[in-house]
Amino acid sequence: MAAWTWRFEKADGTEVQPAVQPEEFTTQGDAESWVGEYWKPLAEGGADQVTLFEDANKIYGPMSLHMEDEPEDADASA
C-alpha cells in the first residue's frame, strides 16, 4: 500500500521539522485534508510550503502555506 507524506520546507526549499507532526496517510485525500486542517500552525511554526509525495514519487508542490498572503487576482497587481 502506498504511503502519502508531506515534505515541509522554508521558502528556499530547505526541509524543516513541522510544528505539528503528521502521520503517514493511506490516501491522497487524507493527506490533503490533514494539511488543510493544520496549515496555519504549520506556517506559524516555520514551514513556508509543502510538497506531497506518494512513497518516493513527488505528486505536487511546493504549495505555499501562506494562503492569506496570496493575491486573489494576480492581474490586479500588474
pLDDT in tens, 40-49: 999 999 999 9
Q: Considering Cα of 49, then 52, then 55, then 59, what sign does the dihedral take?
A: negative
- The residue with cell 502555506 is 65
pTM score, two decimals?
Answer: 0.82
Q: pLDDT per residue over 7-56, tens digit each?
A: 999 999 999 999 999 988 999 999 999 999 999 999 999 999 999 999 99
C-alpha cell of residue 40? 496555519
For residue 55, count CB atoms less than 10 angstroms from its CB and return exposed for 0-12, middle for 13-18, buried for 19 or more: exposed
Can you point out the beta strands (E) in the chain? 4-9, 49-54, 57-64
Cβ–Cβ under 8 Å, residues 70 and 24 = no
